[in-house]
Structure 1
Amino acid sequence: MDGAETTALEDQLREVFAEAFAEPPYGEGPADVDRAFRRFRSQARRKGFRAAVAFDGDRVVGMAYGYPLSASTGWWDTLVEHVAAELRLEDGTRTFGLFELAVRPSWRRQGVATAMHRRLVAGLPNERVMLNTRPEATAAQAAYRAWGYRRVGAAVPWDGAAVHDVMVLVLG
């Protein structure tokens, strides 16, 4: 899905986000949901934005979205561990940033996340996909490793955030 198609589903995406990230280790509440969806509106307008959304009938049960990192991205500036300079290089097409992947709790462990991830990254022209995830999110960590991601460092992605693992999946 492109940005316009995805933003048309914003109310349902907010519900998915709220349900998925209310649980430990996230513990996110209404203010966190509002903050995430202020970002979402600008993210959905970015060049190369794409999303995969899972439905049960007309109800959204999962979402995954992202876009290519720009050559001047600040994502690597949030690292709290040293990584090789070559890993940090961006040219606007090298890395697809996976910014959100969430599934309603009652739909987990049914292959929804795997199917969305597969759809999202299928045919990407990018060299790799990068994401941040909480180290204590063991189910998410296990899924990412099963899909081929490897941990390359740790970051504090925004002021007040917990430390997140930075993971990369090499495509192709």
Structure 2
Amino acid sequence: MTPSTRTDVVIRTYGPGQVEPLLDTIADIWADAHPEIVDNPSASTDGLSVPALHRQVLGHLRHEGFTLAAAYAHGSMVGFGYAFPCTPEYWYGQLLPEIPEHIRAGRLMGLCELAVSPAWQSQGIGSRLHAALLKAINPEWSSLLVRPDNAEGRRLYERMGYRYAGPYRNTPEGPEFDLLLLHVVSSAA
């Protein structure tokens, strides 16, 4: 099915108690958006998989302020993103000393996932999902991790205003990600 227009896409937000019934659907979208991982799981050394996504989302549901934004076209989910407010200590890990104090002191949103089905990509849906998360959480700063080899994702995040803050590992032996930061400009300013 070919997408018609972006105006056909509706964005809905969900809180933690509403997410579990959507897990399989968001996992399917995530898998469609990441064929390089799903089609060749032995090539992935960073623990990314559909079962890992399920565990990750279920673990993140405990964070106060958790928000899932989902994009629907013609009644079917075609994209999603989720984020939650978090502390600098939780999000920045070993990079904390390198993050400037004015950033560490601000309200922070950790953007964990943003995925759009391939047939619906490059139509502004990812940007709309991101905007819905920013509106729901209202942070001063947003941060995310991106794989260094994810050039397409990196270009999207840079267009949104994210800037490289440094290399990041979840564990000392884990894969290296790029930590990106966005200063969120209040619409009231």
- Provide structure 2 residue ranges, at least 5 long, that are not aligned to the other structure: 1-13
Counterparts of 1:82 and 1:164 in 2: how far apart (Å)?
17
Check whether the contact 1:12–1:59 (CA below 8 A) recurs between aligned residues.
no
Counterparts of 1:21 and 1:87 in 2: how far apart (Å)?
35
Normalising by structure 2, we get a TM-score of: 0.76
Within 5 Å, give how 1:2-21 maps onto structure 2. Answer: 2-21=15-34
Structure 1 equivalent of residue 6 of structure 2: none
The alignment of Structure 1 onto Structure 2 pairs a total of residues equal to 167
Identity %: 26
Q: Which amino acid aligns with 2:77?
A: V
Structure 1 equivalent of residue 119 of structure 2: 106
Q: Which amino acid aligns with 2:128?
A: A
What are the Cα deviations for residues 40-97 of structure 1, in whole angstroms up to 9, with x where unaligned? Answer: 1121232010111011223211110011113641x32244x9724527736xx72110
Check whether the contact 2:166–2:178 (CA below 8 A) recurs between aligned residues.
yes
- Provide structure 1 residue ranges, at least 5 long, that are not aligned to the other structure: none
- Asked if 1:165 corresponds to 2:166, the answer is no
Provide the aligned C-alpha RMSD in A: 2.7
Counterparts of 2:174 and 2:154 in 1: how far apart (Å)?
18
> Of the two, which has the highest radius of gyration?
2
- Asked if 1:89 corresponds to 2:104, the answer is yes
Check whether the contact 2:99–2:165 (CA below 8 A) recurs between aligned residues.
no
- Asked if 1:130 corresponds to 2:143, the answer is yes
Normalising by structure 1, we get a TM-score of: 0.83
Structure 1 equivalent of residue 72 of structure 2: 55
Cα gap change, 1:70 to 1:22, in 2 (>3 Å): same
Cα gap change, 1:109 to 1:46, in 2 (>3 Å): same
Counterparts of 1:112 and 1:27 in 2: how far apart (Å)?
27
Within 5 Å, give how 1:28-67 maps onto structure 2. Answer: 28=41, 32-67=49-84
Check whether the contact 1:7–1:44 (CA below 8 A) recurs between aligned residues.
no
Q: Which amino acid aligns with 2:113?
A: E
If each structure's helix is expressed as a fraction of its own residues, which one has the higher value? 2
